[in-house]
Amino acid sequence: EIVLTQSPGTLSLSPGERATLSCRASQTVDSRFLGWYQQKPGQAPSLLIFGTSNRATGIPDRFSGSGSGTDFTLSISRLEPEDFAVYYCQQYGSLPRTFGQGTKLEIK
């Protein structure tokens, strides 16, 4: 089973700042099968990024993903108030499909 470890657990930033979220895998993940989800309070998660760097439909270009092998990153270039949420990475190239434990992005 591929274990995904996200860091930091909580990230406190101000609107307009840049956010960098990390996802580290216990073994190599094919970059085609690494995704990121955003979850706002009381809502289901929604897909942000698939295939490491591809934005899902309707996702603004301030969101970007990068990485390879065991290290992946989600970056948000200029935080908007609506970006403060919990973010999860997920690998979907091997079974069982696994999620990271999440990074909470909160307003400083």
Residues that bind another protein (CB under 8 A): 1, 32-33, 35, 37, 44-47, 50-51, 56, 88, 90, 92-93, 95-102
Q: Which is nearer to another protein, 14 or 43 (CB)?
A: 43
User: CA–CA separation, 50 vs 57, rounded Å?
Assistant: 10
Cα–Cα dist 48/14, whole Å = 21
Nearer to another protein, 81 or 96 (CB): 96
CB of 74 to another protein, least distance (A): 13
Q: 61 vs 95, which CB is nearer to another protein? A: 95
The least distance separating another protein from the CB of residue 102, rounded to whole angstroms, comes to: 5
Task: Supply angle C-alpha 17, 107, 67, rounded to 5.
Answer: 50
For residue 86, which of 19, 35, 38 has the smallest C-alpha distance? 38
